[in-house]
Amino acid sequence: MEKLTAVKGMNDILPPDSARWEWLEAKVRELMARFAYRNIRTPIVEPTGLFVRGLGEVTDIVEKEMYSFEDRLNGEQLTLRPENTAGVVRAVAEHSMLYDGGKRLYYMGPMFRHERPQRGRYRQFHQIGAEALGYPGAEVDAELILLADALWKELGLKDVQLQLNSLGEPDERRAHRAALIAYFEQHADQLDEEAKRRLHSNPLRILDTKNPAMQSLVEAAPKLIDFLGEASLKHFRTVQEILDANGVAWTLNPRLVRGMDYYNLTVFEFVTQSLGSQGTICGGGRYDYLIGMIGGKPAPAVGWALGVERVLELIKENGTAIDMPLPDVYAVIPDAAFVPKAMVTVQALRASGVRVQMHAAAGIEGMGSMKSQLKRADGSGAGFALIFGAEEFARGEVIVKALRDGAGAQVARSMADVAGWSATLQSPAQA
């Protein structure tokens, strides 16, 4: 029979790698709580129209990358979410979450895009995102950037640079759009096929081209910031002033446009040189019109999302030490007849907060020898072995043997008084 494997670009996350994911997620949860952001969880499947309307019909995501299908029961067009900002906005609008004021929210979860798998970029990938909805002020744009910057510090990442731009408001972008079209029409012979296709539908995306032959043409194109009015410029200056006051370095990137149509005013990306061509690890900006675009009551909003796989790659490149969850105790049970009573002690230790790995029978060979079990205990990384020897077991005792600090030292403990000695087995983080 043919062996079934995972879908290309959709990967299993196995131990010990899964511990790195848990470590990162725990860091994020703790930091989000400090910034008063609360968790939201939305469905993986959403109506296709949510992304067509929210992201824009001529974006790469909608045109090329979405996993869309028809519901066989009712014919509804559905899509595996390619990003989660639109889903969060849909949930906020559907449940009228802004009726009593703004909301700060964050999420974690898988996203799906049909693209060529490469390092740090997969067809099922994971994002962590933060969204602040109902707040129009530039200080919230800056707060979200400070939140991301604080996360890099928590993770020990240094090779991360912040790039900023402003996309202004719709009327300013329309004026810039007209200037772009006129400019690129004058240089139509230098445009590749993709740029020609986008020229009249979405010329702003031409600025994001990766074609080396078009870079000089793009560099000389009209800059959006030259079309911004005083209100947009003031909003952008306020963001910059807050970042400067907090010692956050940034560079202006006038070609930074992001990949979704819903952005306005502030946009930003955190980039690194350590991951090759996939340099962006986090990006976001303000999207004041998205709630209204999907049918909700118009409200301002701003947010960002980071790519979990890319951040984990960067953590690995950086050599950041990650605490792996190891057992405190390995229970050695040489006689299968001792298992029922031994498990009472094991369960009592677990109830006291001690991490216990219990030896289990290895098929027809039974529990295995004391020597082989002690070897497994040492290999588990546990600090102690809990040895249920025959003589001690008969006295209602168990031997606690140190495997790390003071290796070899051992003491008999009463199985009737687990609570009295369990704390001596916990790692410092657990005690």
- 330-351: per-residue pLDDT in tens? 999 988 889 999 999 999 999 9
Query: Quick one: CA dihedral 377, 382, 383, 387, positive or negative?
Result: negative
Distance (Å, rounded) from C-alpha 82 to C-alpha 62?
A: 9
CA distances from 168 to 174, 283, 287, 297, 409 (A): 10, 17, 11, 21, 69
Q: Is residue 205 part of a domain?
A: no
Burial of 290 (0-12, 13-18, 19+ CB in 10 A): buried
Model confidence band, residue 405 (pLDDT cutoffs 50, 70, 90)? confident
> Over the stretch 133-154, which tens digit does the pLDDT of each residue have?
999 999 999 999 999 999 999 9
Model confidence at 232: pLDDT above 50: yes
Model confidence at 267: pLDDT above 50: yes
Q: What is the mean pLDDT of residues 270-275?
A: 89
First to last CA, the chain: 50
Distance (Å, rounded) from C-alpha 323 to C-alpha 31?
A: 18
User: Are 413 and 397 spatial neighbours (Cβ–Cβ below 8 Å)?
Assistant: yes
* Domain end position, chosen among 254, 287, 318: 318
* Domain end position, chosen among 293, 318, 343: 318
Distance (Å, rounded) from C-alpha 190 to C-alpha 178?
A: 19
Task: State yes or no: cis peptide before 16, omega within 30 of 0.
Answer: yes
Pinpoint the alpha helices (H) of 276-324.
Answer: 290-293, 308-318
Is the same domain home to 343 and 313? no
* Domain end position, chosen among 257, 289, 318: 318
Is the same domain home to 97 and 27? yes
Q: Is residue 198 part of a domain?
A: no
Distance (Å, rounded) from C-alpha 285 to C-alpha 265?
A: 8
Residue with more model confidence, 32 or 120:
32
User: Are 35 and 132 spatial neighbours (Cβ–Cβ below 8 Å)?
Assistant: no
Is the same domain home to 91 and 46? yes
Check residue 261 and give its pLDDT: 66
Is the same domain home to 365 and 232? no
Domain count, the chain: 2
Q: Is residue 103 part of a domain?
A: yes
Is the same domain home to 310 and 353? no
Q: What is the mean pLDDT of residues 47-57?
A: 83
Is the same domain home to 38 and 95? yes
CATH number at residue 339: 3.40.50.800
Is the same domain home to 131 and 250? yes
> Over the stretch 293-343, which tens digit does the pLDDT of each residue have?
888 999 999 999 999 999 999 998 888 878 788 899 999 998 888 999 999
Is the same domain home to 313 and 416? no
Q: Is residue 147 part of a domain?
A: yes
CA distances from 415 to 25, 361, 370, 412, 421 (A): 37, 22, 20, 9, 10
Q: Is residue 287 part of a domain?
A: yes
Distance (Å, rounded) from C-alpha 184 to C-alpha 226?
A: 17
Using a pLDDT cut of 90, give the percent of the chain over it. Answer: 65
Helix/strand number for the chain, H first, E second: 15, 16
Specify the residue for token string 């997620």.
25
Find the domain containing 366 and state its range: 329-425
Mean pLDDT of the chain: 90
> Over the stretch 205-215, which tens digit does the pLDDT of each residue have?
788 788 888 99
Residues belonging to the chain? 431
Distance of CA 54 to the CA centre of its chain: 21
- Partnered with residue 356 across adjacent β-strands are 329
Q: Is residue 173 part of a domain?
A: no
The DSSP line for 377-410 is: HHHTT-SEEEE--HHHHHTTEEEEEESSTTTT-E
Q: Is residue 68 part of a domain?
A: yes
Distance (Å, rounded) from C-alpha 142 to C-alpha 109?
A: 24
Check residue 427 and give its pLDDT: 64
Model confidence at 431: pLDDT above 50: no
Check residue 59 and give its pLDDT: 67
Check residue 102 and give its pLDDT: 97
Is the same domain home to 302 and 338? no
User: Are 305 and 86 spatial neighbours (Cβ–Cβ below 8 Å)?
Assistant: no
